[in-house]
Amino acid sequence: MHKAIALFVAMLILGSPTLSAQGCSDAGVCTMGTMRSATHERDTSAYASVTLTPSFGAGEQGVAIVQVLPEVEWRVGRFMTLRASLPLMYTSGSLGTNSGIGDAVVSVSRTLILSDEVDMGLTLGTRLPTGTSNAGSTSTASLPMPYQTGLGTTDLVVGVSSTHDAWSVALGYQRVLVNNNRNTYVDDGAGYFTSKDYERGDDAILRVGRSIAIDNINIVPSLLAIYRVQQDRVMGERVQGSDGLTLNLAVAASTSIADRLNLRVDAAAPVLVRKVRADGLTRALVIAIGLSYEL
């Protein structure tokens, strides 16, 4: 048990993490429904759970990002799950501070049992622009996107995942349906990406992971690829270098710490990033720890 705890702590410290609803250029698809790394086998008698996940991160130009993410999950029958979350955020950097609610995420997932060793998960979800994309400060009328609590878009997310023994694979696509981003920031040498009249492209993701059980701790290292399908637009023009691949090494670990009470830690680090990232989603460091109670 002591060896397992030591490994758990080492993975947390060495992970140089990036995580959660805004990870390494992740607009939400990577953590929605069955596309999230599964680390804990739930009590099948539980019909719902509530999770609270605080995190701290460092974004572009060292912007400090504090997020508290409440999430509610309902089981509908044995194989269907509904999830909803609404983050609370605080950001602070050289240009000012901002705080408020982030973008709401709602999803429904369906699990299909294909055999004793193989199952498949289907996810359909949306990200809603309940956060702000054009908050300003005393130093600038509109802060750059790393400071904003929302992306300013309404998105549709679809995904499919499958597990076989200890291995898992997930594929997902996040489509921008409506762009209501009203950011007006134009960089004047501060080192941020210009995001005036910003239009984000779609994202496709692939995650491959393997579950490793050590005592009562389940650890899932994974490789996460996020591909920005179209070039982003700024001030009506396509931005060279804004599309393409972001590659992340990720790890998730969970354990049951009491009856129906579970602890989860997520971490990741980018090993390859796109040249231009005006969406403000890139994180140099994030640590997130979630507590979940099954009802």
Quick one: pLDDT at residue 39? 58
Quick one: pLDDT at residue 65? 93
Q: What is the band of 265 on the pLDDT scale with cuts at 50, 70, 90?
A: very high
Domain total of the chain: 1
Residue that has been written with the tokens 């790393």 in this structure: 146
Quick one: pLDDT at residue 19? 40
Q: Are 225 and 233 in contact (CB under 8 A)?
A: no
- 185-199: average pLDDT: 96
Residue 6 has pLDDT above 50, yes or no: no
Taking the C-alpha atoms of residue 176 and residue 196, their distance in angstroms, rounded to an integer, is 18
Quick one: pLDDT at residue 3? 44
Taking the C-alpha atoms of residue 137 and residue 132, their distance in angstroms, rounded to an integer, is 13
Quick one: pLDDT at residue 78? 82
Taking the C-alpha atoms of residue 58 and residue 282, their distance in angstroms, rounded to an integer, is 9
Taking the C-alpha atoms of residue 209 and residue 120, their distance in angstroms, rounded to an integer, is 15
Cα 214-118-41 angle, rounded to 5 deg: 40
Q: What is the band of 211 on the pLDDT scale with cuts at 50, 70, 90?
A: very high
Taking the C-alpha atoms of residue 11 and residue 289, their distance in angstroms, rounded to an integer, is 13
Instruction: For residue 124, give Cα distances in angstroms to 81, 211, 254.
Output: 11, 24, 25
Quick one: pLDDT at residue 287? 82
Q: Is 146 helix (H, G, I), strand (E, B) or coil?
A: helix
Domain of residue 267, CATH code: 2.40.160.40
**Which candidate, 30, 6, 95, places its Cα nearest to that of 281?**
30
- 254-274: average pLDDT: 90
Quick one: pLDDT at residue 43? 55
pLDDT single digits (tens) 64-95: 999 999 999 999 988 899 999 999 999 999 99
Instruction: For residue 232, give Cα distances in angstroms to 154, 169, 198.
Output: 16, 28, 7
H or E segment to which residue 155 belongs: strand 153-164
Quick one: pLDDT at residue 25? 63
Least trusted range by pLDDT, from 50-59, 85-94, 230-239: 50-59
Residue 10 has pLDDT above 60, yes or no: no
**pTM for the predicted model, two decimal places:** 0.89
Quick one: pLDDT at residue 40? 53
What end-to-end distance do the CA atoms of the chain give, in Å?
Answer: 28
**Which candidate, 155, 148, 202, 203, places its Cα nearest to that of 178?**
155
- The count of other CB atoms within 10 Å of the CB of residue 41 is 10
Q: Are 83 and 119 in contact (CB under 8 A)?
A: no
Q: Range of 191's domain?
A: 2-294
Residue 56 has pLDDT above 90, yes or no: no
Residue type, 45: S
Residue 14 has pLDDT above 90, yes or no: no
Quick one: pLDDT at residue 148? 97
Residue type, 5: I
